[in-house]
Every structure is written in C-alpha cells, then in structure tokens.
Amino acid sequence: MLKKLIKLFFPPILLDAIIKIKKKLNKKKYVQRPSKQELDLYYNPEMAKILDEWGERNAWIEIQHLLHGKKTNILDIACGTGKVIEILKKNNESQIFGCDISELLISKCIERGIDSNKLKICDATNLPYKENEFDYCYSIGSLEHFTEDGIIKFLESSKRVTKFEGFHMIPVSKSNKDEGWINNYQSYFNNSPRWWIDLCKKIYSDVKIIDSTWEDEISTGKWLILKK
C-alpha cells in the first residue's frame, strides 16, 4: 500500500534519483583517501596466526622464483611473522633481513629462529638503513595498507636503501577501477594496475607489473617490479 502511494506521488525520474543516492550512500565503505593507517590489527595474536598461512599457495611461492639464484643481501619490508624469510632461507643463499612496525610480529620472527640482529622494528616510510645497504628488497601484501602519501614515502625509502630492484606484491581491483580505500577487517587500497603504475612512476622510471596467482572475490594479485 505504502509503495503504491509513493509511486503515485513521486514521478519515476525522482524515484530513480533516490535509488541512485541510496546506492552511493551504501558504498560509504569506499573512503578514497585515508588520513592514517589502521595498525591495531597487527598487534593481535589471532592476526599473527592468519599471517603465518595466507600466502603459502601463491605469493610465497612466487617470491622464491623472483629471488631464485641470488646470493646477496635482501630486505623483507613489513615482514610480518617472518614466515617468508623462513621459507626463502631454505633454498636461497642470501642474507635476508626483515623489518616491521609491529613489535608483536617481530617477536614472532625471533620465536621462529630468525636472528634478531637481522630484524628491526620500524616504520617502512622511513627505513633506518644506509643508502644501498641491500641489493634487493621485497614486500608482500603490505604496500596497499599504507596511505597514498605513505606509499610514496615507502617507495622513496625502499629505493634509497636498495641498490638494484624491489619486488612488491599488491592486490588490484578485479573491476579494473580505482575502488579506493576498503574498510574490511584489514584496510587497504583496491585500485587498478594503472593507479599503481602511475604512483610508482613518480619514484621509479623503470616500472613493470606482472601477475600473481593470489586472488579473492574483489581483487587479484600483481607484482610490481621496480628497477633503479
């Protein structure tokens, strides 16, 4: 009855407009520009358990291929619980160092036997290492959790401490659109490959992007390969 009355008094064009506005309001979870990162999650032991497994079948296999045969020193930026460092150490003769903002996650690295002298608690937007201290660096599932300004600082900082190349695995939107900042249990950018390439090109002139096999409902993985 109420619906019939509404239809009678509101012309279809007005109803259409109301429906569109309602849809836009429902998309509130896409906030385009966060002013700060949400980091509380990375101090939660339950999250540490998830971080111990998530990339086993995809991203963590791929980084072994990307770094295969290298015998040098490498930095894992935002290394989480250190699971990837542990995996790499099995088949790679490199010295692998790690850093992360979360004391809890760095303590998990130490618990699994990674030398504490090779670990640092720090913000990746301002890495406390010397210029060209590492030949290569990588990050996995991390860059997308930084603000836009943070991503630029992360890339500048990692470029400064790395001599040759950086490998950074990120999710991009399956829609190929810049969907912006998603507030799920983790907050992150779900944007197009073009958005990422343009951002990286502000810092690196040689930017390549290749597929990762990681995916979920709304995103698919990519590796950014950034050469100095």
Ligand X SMILES: C[S@@+](CC[C@H](N)C(=O)[O-])C[C@H]1O[C@@H](n2cnc3c(N)ncnc32)[C@H](O)[C@@H]1O
Chain positions contacting ligand X, by CB under 6 A: 37, 39, 42, 51, 55, 78-80, 84, 100-102, 105, 123-125, 140-142, 145
Distance of CA 154 to the CA centre of its chain: 11
Which residues lie closer than 8 Å to 89 by C-beta, 6 or more apart?
96
Nearest to ligand X by Cβ — which residue?
80
Minimum distance of ligand X from residue 109's CB (angstroms): 10
Minimum distance of ligand X from residue 165's CB (angstroms): 18
- Which of residues 42 and 97 has its CB atom nearest to ligand X in the complex? 42
DSSP category for residue 222: E
- Which of residues 84 and 199 has its CB atom nearest to ligand X in the complex? 84
Please give the backbone phi and psi of residue 96, each rounded to the nearest 5 degrees, phi first. Answer: -110, 125
- Which of residues 138 and 204 has its CB atom nearest to ligand X in the complex? 138
- Which of residues 98 and 200 has its CB atom nearest to ligand X in the complex? 98
Q: Are 145 and 138 in contact (CB under 8 A)?
A: no
Minimum distance of ligand X from residue 64's CB (angstroms): 13
- Which of residues 124 and 209 has its CB atom nearest to ligand X in the complex? 124
Q: What is the 3-state secondary structure (H, E, C) of 141-210?
A: CCHHHCCHHHHHHHHHHHHHHEEEEEEEEEEEECCCCCCCEEECCCEEECCCHHHHHHHHHCCCCEEEEE
Cα dihedral 56→106→143→201 (10° resolution): -110
Minimum distance of ligand X from residue 56's CB (angstroms): 10
Minimum distance of ligand X from residue 42's CB (angstroms): 3
- Using CB atoms within 10 Å of the CB of residue 160, give its burial: 0 to 12 exposed, 13 to 18 middle, 19+ buried: middle
Minimum distance of ligand X from residue 179's CB (angstroms): 18
- Which of residues 4 and 46 has its CB atom nearest to ligand X in the complex? 46
Question: Residue 224 and residue 77: Cα distance in Å, rounded?
Answer: 14
Q: How many residues does the chain have?
A: 228
